[in-house]
Structure 1
Amino acid sequence: MDKYEKIRVVGRGAYGTVFLCRRLSDKKLIIIKQIPVEQMTKEERQAALNEVKVLSMLDHPNIIEYYENFLEDKALMIVMEYAQGGTLFEFTQQRNGQLLEEHDILRYFVQMLLSLQHVHSKQILHRDLKSQNILLDRKREIIKIGDFGISKVLSSKSKAYTVVGTPCYISPELCEGKPYNQKSDIWALGCVLYELASLKRAFEAGNLPALILKIMRGTFSPISDQYSPELRALILSMLHLDPNKRPDINHIMADPLVISHLFYMYTDMGMVPCKTQRPLSSMSGAKQRIVHRTSSYTGKGTGVGIFLDPQDVLQSKALSSVYTWGGGIMTPNKLPVPSSDTQITQISTGRSQKGAVTKNGRLFVWEAPGIGADIPGAIDGSQCPAFVPRYLEGQSAVAIQHVACGDLFTACLTDRGILMTFGSGANGCLGHGNHHDVSQAKIVEALLGYEVAQVSCGASHVLAVTNEHEVFAWGRGDNGRLGLGSQESHNSPQEVPLPEKYKPCSVHCGVDGSVVLTLERKMLCCGNNRFNKLSLDVTTGSKVQQIDEVNCFTLVTAPPIGDISVKSVDMGTSHTAAISEDGQLYTFGTNQFGQLGHDVCPDRSPGLVKTLQMERVTHVGCGDTFTVAITEKGKIYSWGKPARGRLGRNDPDSGIPKQVRLPLDLLDETLEVTSLSCSHGITLLAAKPVQSSGAVGIQV
């Protein structure tokens, strides 16, 4: 205790005394729990040591922090964080019957959810979750869960049997002496949520038998009508008598009532205050038009959105420009962006949708007008259809950092690693465990416990990689494109087995194949290897073994791809392009329409695009029968099948890379490409102006 100064006793319990102390090194107030161990039974000593063990395993902002433990005067001293705001029980009692606002209840509730998710992820049961063990910071804004004295660490996903916990919060299965697991903590959390909404306990009685009877019957008074039906339904689900019918942590976190408050916790709470972004309704004085949106994949109405008049959008000089060609658009056409101060960091295109992410974390898509909408035809008299930008709805508290488009569906990733999907549920590509269509972005529940770093959408399957180098796949499984060792399809994320030696850093989906790039700059491929488009053919001497299909991710070893450090890769329908660390471009697969940009080798080997050998390639995109590349000097090259504007230029000589010219952009002298995406017969390209300070850009 030489490092600490005792101030006062703040509590006494069955196992010992709790002191408020000051740490002498930094004058920080802390709590020391003093537990005499000499006269304790073996079971009591084990309980004391168990709390130390559990606390040392946990590290979460909504759990009381553990500092250290030591023995002194035949007592175990546990040093912990001090929460100055008292307990949640004291807070509710001090309300004097004045009910909390629903948003305040949910603000506390999501913090408890996050902390309990962390506890359960460590295979720990709290077993004594109650308002007296939930603490508050000085401002009574931050929740801190404490008192893990009777928590149980599960050696596996087995169930516990010992009847422990505070009677008012114990679950029906505990009352019956049945085995229990995390669902008993869900019951206790439901009791705490009820207590926040009613300022009284869900189950109270004058004696223990009467209390047990109430719990076994699941009878409690309804909460006030001032609260939403959704909140009442959430409480009822958590207090379901059958533990198998209670939602687990991930299902609760994905509840529409909880999501917005969860995002608030992730994005706003504790962040440095910043200037509020201008709402869409005040952008550049542009005219707005409210129209009924029709889903492009179901034909059903999906709500009301705010659109901008394309003529007004084009009048101002934007900080970012987006161009598209292909699909009948013969030369690059500029797409409207929401406002002049929009800065686009990343784009993606699928068969029918185009999406973009802005620097301030907004996601918008370009849509054709809905049925009956009064939107002009072409922009500036060009042949480009009247695509109209629309921000993703319900995104006010979410910062998007990445978007990926598949066929009729879209995946977007928040800056906190939460993956959301929307669009067509065909093939299970949304990852929600079903095949239902979703009109607004919905969290992929199965990945809530992971921090997703990047996502890629193919035509009908999806791959995601986490910051812990785990890869998940779902969607159609034929040709082995999911890398799961079979051709089985899945409508929810499945962890993909990978060679232990390699750590994945990015994923890339094609039409019927997949690529994982590793930190070692190697390619792991699976799926359809027709025309050797995955570079998986095996060469032995003068003989070439043609590999048609691979169901597991396999390392590419054949030269030249197996010998280089691959920096970037993109897959088309029947060919692939890879950029090496030194900016050299290699292509492989079929060359039926000249999409490889070089003569095909007799043994189907990948080849260097020699036309660009003197350039340093920075971006590459592969469509169905064409390829687009961007060089370090800002030049845009395309080659392949010229039909329907795929190459963005009127040139019948399609097998040789030739330059694509963007239209003059008013006052811009040079542009720097920030993102490139190709899909089927369409190209989408984002660029930003480069200041005249000697920076290299696209000469327009």
Structure 2
Amino acid sequence: MEKYEKIRVVGRGAYGTVHLCIRLSDRKQVIIKQIPVEQMTKDERQAALNEVKVLSMLHHPNIIQYYENFLEDKALMIVMEYAQGGTLLDFLQSRNGCLLEEEDILKFLAQMLLSLQHVHSKQILHRDLKTQNILLDKKKEIVKIGDFGISKVLSSKSKAYTVVGTPCYISPELCEGKPYNQKSDIWALGCVLYELATLKRAFEAANLPALILKIMRGTFSPISSHYSPQLQDLIRRMLHLDPTKRPTINQIMAQPILINTIMNLHTDMGKVPSVRINRPLSSMQGTGRQRMSLRGNTTARDGISSKPQPLSSVFCWGGGILSPSKLPLPNNETQVVQVSIGRTQRAAVTKNGRLFVWESQAVGTESLIPGATEGVAPMFVPRYLEGQAAVTIQHVACGDLFTACLTDRGILMTFGSGVNGCLGHGNCSDVTQAKIVEALLGYEVTQVSCGASHVLAVTNEHEVFAWGRGDNGRLGLGSYESTASPKPVPVGQNVHPCSVHCGMDCSVILTLENSLLCSGSNRYNKLALDTITADGYTEQMVEEVLTFTPVQSAPLNSLAVKMVAQGTSHSALITEDGECYTFGSNQFGQLGCDCDPGNRRPVLVASIKHHSIAMLSCGDIFTVAVSTDNEVFTWGKSSRGRLGRPDEDSHLPKVVALPKDEPFTVNSLSSSHGSTLIATKPSQRSPSP
């Protein structure tokens, strides 16, 4: 105890004594639970050690933090975080019968769900959730779940049978002697939620037999009509007698009444308040009013006006647009950090986490003069994603008729056409507004890729999930079957996927080891799965594989790969040395060389080998590459403006002439079908006056 100074005793019980202390190194207040182990039975000692084991496994902002443990004076000392706001029970009792607002209830519930999700992800059951074990911060806004003394760490096959916990929160299955599982924690959480809404316990009785009878009947008084029907229904489902009928944590978190609350937590809790102005579509297009900006305003000095420089520019070509055309942005303050293009969509993510799409007005396309070959280029209007003002988006990917977007908390949302189950919601229904992919709520997704009709996602734990159309084995699940829900993809031992890339009928995984794994159609050897030796001899040709398989074609099977992209019938990659290789069909010159259209060997794009390539993208029958010195090269079929440049020597890489009003850096590139989208930012900005 030489590192701590005791202040006072804040609790006593059969387990021991709880002290409020000061940690001398930083003067931080902590709780030390003193548990005398010498007089304990073997089971009691095991329970005390179990609490240390459980606490050391948990690291979450809504769980009481464990610092350390040590033995002193024949007692086990457990040092933990101090929650200054007391227990949730104390808080509810202090209300004196004044009901909470539904918004406040949902804030508490969302935090408890996130913490319990973390607990269950570690194969731990809390087994004693109650308002006495839920603590609050000083402002009584942040929830901290504590007291894991009787928690159960499950092995892969073990079940918890012991009847434990506070009687008022025990589930019906425990009353019947059935095994305790996650659904029993859901029951206890339902009791806590009921208590938040009524300030009373859901089940109370004068004695234990009467209490058990009440719990077994599942009867409780309805909550006030002051609360929404959605909240009332959620409580009823969490307190369903049949545990299989109770929702999972992920299902609860996906409820419409909770989504915005969950999304808001990371901005509302413990952050400096910020102002975000959400402008409707009309305000993006100009209202005739003067707007003020903290940076980049139009200013006048000595009678000379300086026009504000945009923080980003986005260029588009292809699909009838013959040369790079600058797309309109919501305003000059928009900083685009990532773009994606699909068959029908153009989407962008801004630096402050907003997602917007460009809607085509298709001007002139329906009134062509007889004999004309091209219509007037369509007008594109930016529109922010509706209903997601509080969500911070960090990544977007477009499929054929659908879109996937990823929040900064690793939550994946999809919307658009649900054909082939590519939205991942367990069905083939269309969704007009972004909806959370419920099956992945327990994972932190770091990147997602959309093909024409399938999707792959990778998590921070290097797990890969796939869903959507399954023919050709494009999902890598070992079959041709489609699936409307994310399924874990087997990738083998000692493999650490870091990014995923979907093609038309195939998929590629790039690993931390800089190697490629491919699955699906290998037509024209576009996945480099043919066994080709270093001297160019083809030993074996492969048409398709159903599981992810390492590339077999030299020299790719021995190169360290930095980036990969897929087109309809060809692929391209960048090595760690900045070299660009292409492989697959060369029917339209999409490999960037003069090799035979039937060539199945990977080739180095020799004409740009003196440039270090930083990023690339493949359309249907063309390729785009960007060098580290911000030169944009295109090659392949040039019809309908695919290359964004005149079509001379279209099969060889040539520079696209982007407007250069000022030095710029390309920070995002995306191609799909016959179009390309490029986002740039100024390389340097003069200081504001």
Normalising by structure 2, report the TM-score: 0.91
Provide structure 2 residue ranges, at least 5 long, that are not aligned to the other structure: 289-306, 369-373
1:515/1:523 contact within 8 Å kept: yes
Provide structure 1 residue ranges, at least 5 long, that are not aligned to the other structure: 289-314, 694-700
| Distance change (3 Å), C-alpha of 1:613 and 1:90 | same
Alignment correspondent of 1:659: 655
1:280-429 correspondence runs (5 A) = 280=280, 283=283, 286-287=286-287, 318-368=310-360, 383-429=376-422
Alignment correspondent of 2:297: none
Alignment correspondent of 2:257: 257
Alignment correspondent of 2:542: 547
Alignment correspondent of 1:436: 429
Give the distance between the partners of 2:439 and 2:163, measured in 1 at CA: 31
1:218-617 correspondence runs (5 A) = 218-277=218-277, 279-280=279-280, 283=283, 286-287=286-287, 318-368=310-360, 383-539=376-532, 542-600=537-595, 604-617=600-613
The one-letter code of the counterpart of 1:589 is G
* SS of equivalent residue, structure 2 residue 562: strand
1:283/1:339 contact within 8 Å kept: no
Identity of aligned residues (%): 70
Alignment correspondent of 1:84: 84
| Distance change (3 Å), C-alpha of 1:193 and 1:595 | same
Q: Deviation at 1:390?
A: 0.9
* SS of equivalent residue, structure 2 residue 117: helix
Q: Deviation at 1:282?
A: 8.4
Give the distance between the partners of 2:114 and 2:526, measured in 1 at CA: 44
| Distance change (3 Å), C-alpha of 1:95 and 1:528 | same
Q: Deviation at 1:543?
A: 4.2
Give the distance between the partners of 2:253 and 2:11, measured in 1 at CA: 34
Q: Deviation at 1:692?
A: 7.6
Give the distance between the partners of 2:348 and 2:367, measured in 1 at CA: 22
2:347/2:358 contact within 8 Å kept: yes
1:205-234 CA distances to partner (integer Å, 9 max, x unpaired)? 222222222211111111111211111111
Q: Deviation at 1:691?
A: 3.2
Alignment correspondent of 1:306: none
* SS of equivalent residue, structure 1 residue 455: strand
* SS of equivalent residue, structure 2 residue 547: strand
1:603-643 CA distances to partner (integer Å, 9 max, x unpaired)? 52111222222322222221111122223333322222222
Alignment correspondent of 2:292: none
Alignment correspondent of 2:116: 116
Alignment correspondent of 1:47: 47
| Distance change (3 Å), C-alpha of 1:546 and 1:166 | same
Give the distance between the partners of 1:422 and 1:80, measured in 2 at CA: 43
State the Cα RMSD in Å.
2.6
* SS of equivalent residue, structure 2 residue 425: coil
| Distance change (3 Å), C-alpha of 1:211 and 1:525 | same
1:88/1:135 contact within 8 Å kept: yes
1:344/1:359 contact within 8 Å kept: yes
Q: Deviation at 1:49?
A: 2.3
1:267/1:399 contact within 8 Å kept: no
Q: Deviation at 1:544?
A: 3.2
* SS of equivalent residue, structure 2 residue 30: strand
The one-letter code of the counterpart of 1:12 is R
The one-letter code of the counterpart of 2:530 is D
Q: Deviation at 1:166?
A: 1.0
Equivalent pairs, count: 660
Q: Deviation at 1:246?
A: 0.4
Alignment correspondent of 1:303: none
2:532/2:601 contact within 8 Å kept: no
Give the distance between the partners of 2:163 and 2:239, measured in 1 at CA: 18
* SS of equivalent residue, structure 1 residue 43: helix
Off by >4 Å, runs of 4+ in structure 1: 280-285, 373-378
2:365/2:375 contact within 8 Å kept: no
The one-letter code of the counterpart of 1:183 is K
The one-letter code of the counterpart of 1:40 is M
Normalising by structure 1, report the TM-score: 0.89
Give the distance between the partners of 1:318 and 1:22, measured in 2 at CA: 52
Give the distance between the partners of 1:75 and 1:661, measured in 2 at CA: 75
Give the distance between the partners of 1:163 and 1:441, measured in 2 at CA: 42
| Distance change (3 Å), C-alpha of 1:39 and 1:609 | closer
Give the distance between the partners of 1:629 and 1:421, measured in 2 at CA: 28
Alignment correspondent of 1:643: 639
2:572/2:581 contact within 8 Å kept: yes
| Distance change (3 Å), C-alpha of 1:629 and 1:69 | closer
Q: Deviation at 1:44?
A: 2.4
1:434-491 CA distances to partner (integer Å, 9 max, x unpaired)? 2221111111122222221111111111111122222221111211111222222222
1:130-279 correspondence runs (5 A) = 130-156=130-156, 158-277=158-277, 279=279
| Distance change (3 Å), C-alpha of 1:278 and 1:256 | closer
| Distance change (3 Å), C-alpha of 1:633 and 1:171 | same
Give the distance between the partners of 1:285 and 1:486, measured in 2 at CA: 49
Q: Deviation at 1:674?
A: 1.8
Q: Deviation at 1:321?
A: 1.7
Deviates more, 1:259-268 or 1:335-344: 259-268
1:314-343 CA distances to partner (integer Å, 9 max, x unpaired)? x98632222222222223222221111111
Give the distance between the partners of 2:454 and 2:599, measured in 1 at CA: 30
1:268/1:397 contact within 8 Å kept: no
* SS of equivalent residue, structure 2 residue 252: helix
1:242-269 CA distances to partner (integer Å, 9 max, x unpaired)? 1001011111111111111111113442
Alignment correspondent of 1:633: 629
Give the distance between the partners of 1:48 and 1:501, measured in 2 at CA: 36
2:364/2:378 contact within 8 Å kept: no
| Distance change (3 Å), C-alpha of 1:631 and 1:57 | closer
Q: Deviation at 1:39?
A: 3.0
1:595/1:655 contact within 8 Å kept: yes
2:579/2:612 contact within 8 Å kept: yes
Structure 2 residue 96 is the aligned partner of structure 1 residue 100: no
Alignment correspondent of 1:696: none
The one-letter code of the counterpart of 2:556 is I
| Distance change (3 Å), C-alpha of 1:376 and 1:64 | farther
Q: Deviation at 1:385?
A: 1.2
* SS of equivalent residue, structure 2 residue 91: helix
